[in-house]
Amino acid sequence: MDDKIKILFLASNPTASGRLRLDEEYAQVKEALHHGENRDSFELIAEFATTSRRLFDALLRHKPHIVHFSGHGDQKGGGIVLDDGFGNVKLIDKKDLTELLDVLKDNIFAVFLNSCYSADQADALADLVDYSIVINNPIGDNAAINFAATFYQALSFDRTIVEAFKLAAISLNMNGLTGSTVPELRLRQGIEKPASVCAYLKHEVKRPEPAPSDRAGEPSINKGTIITAGTVTTLNITNNQ
């Protein structure tokens, strides 16, 4: 039985791609979790210079509850950019990423793609995990770092993922950072009472059943509830705390 929520922090910034401050994002997320009252309930696992092989290995080895990717996204196809092991760009398209997570989603209840244009991945993730956070347009380094740090800080104080998302969006606005309408949260169909991550750790959350297949035998995609940073103040969703 797991005694900690495992957050797998995947970072990739190939030499051939634009420079990102991924080390600073990791440092601020680590600090935010450490300062929370439930700090001992989290384990942050980092994988920098992520290649496809390291991605497989990390998911197989650690069986994370939350998968966080930080890096570049593909503007055309919605995939993510990894390293090929030599500093060059290795594009992982959204279909391959979804299929990988589908096979290795053992404990995963949340995926956070902190990369530009990752909203194209959201429809597929919405039927796969309870919560998915994506970025629907370009976002600056400072905004991406602030949003991630505030989000995990809230989780470490036992707030729900919905509340943590709302607080992170509010923080962007309060700090005058551009991109406050860029982050987007998808709730899987059937999630009506968002739980804190500690509730998942204690197995107090009933997971929704996968969506039924369509007439062609393919899994049907249901977007569930969509929350954007621009709508957090009007969101009305029941909290089970």
Map out the domains of the chain as residue ranges: 5-234
CATH top-level class for 5-234?
alpha beta
Contact (CB, 8 A) for 107 and 35: no
pLDDT of 224 reads: 59
pLDDT tens, residue by residue, 157-178: 999 999 999 999 999 888 887 6
As a whole number of angstroms, the distance between CA 87 and CA 38 comes to: 37
The tokens describing 212, both together, are 């039924």
- The reply to whether the predicted model has a pTM over 0.75 is yes
Contact residues for 166 (Cβ-Cβ < 8 A; gap 6+): 227, 232, 235
The whole-number average pLDDT for the span 132-157 is 90
How does residue 4 score in pLDDT terms, banded at 50, 70 and 90? very high
How does residue 201 score in pLDDT terms, banded at 50, 70 and 90? confident
